[in-house]
Amino acid sequence: MNVRSSVKGIVIKNNKLLTIKKHDDVFDVDYTLPGGGQEHGENLLEAIQREFLEEVGCLIKVKQFVFLREYIGIEWIPVTIS
């Protein structure tokens, strides 16, 4: 079984949440938090910094780890650890 971690970032400025607008065939328009898959050899901090640079075009400083959602398996069963 392959396990791949991913990261998402939450940025709130002037009471507004930063999202990425994506177009797809199912929902037409979808909004998601910036982030993506962790590359081999990266820690989570490096992964979110790289993803922000790729998707938003800016360097970020991570202030706080908010939560972890772990999923391993075929069926979608969410597990959240606070």
Cα torsion at 20, 56, 47, 14 (round to 10°)? -80
User: Is residue 1 assigned to a domain?
Assistant: no
Tell which wins on pLDDT, 8 or 2: 8
In a domain, 66, yes or no: yes
* pLDDT given at position 78: 55
In a domain, 61, yes or no: yes
Domain annotation covers residue 26: yes
Q: Distance between CA 7 and CA 19 in Å, rounded? A: 14
Give the helix/strand (H/E) hosting 81: strand 80-81
Kindly state whether residue 24 falls inside one of the protein's structural domains: yes
pLDDT tens, residue by residue, 52-80: 999 999 999 999 988 877 767 666 555 55
**pLDDT of the residue at 1:** 60
CB < 8 Å & 24+ apart, contacts of 49-53: 51/7, 51/9, 52/9
Whole domain around residue 17: which residue ranges? 6-81
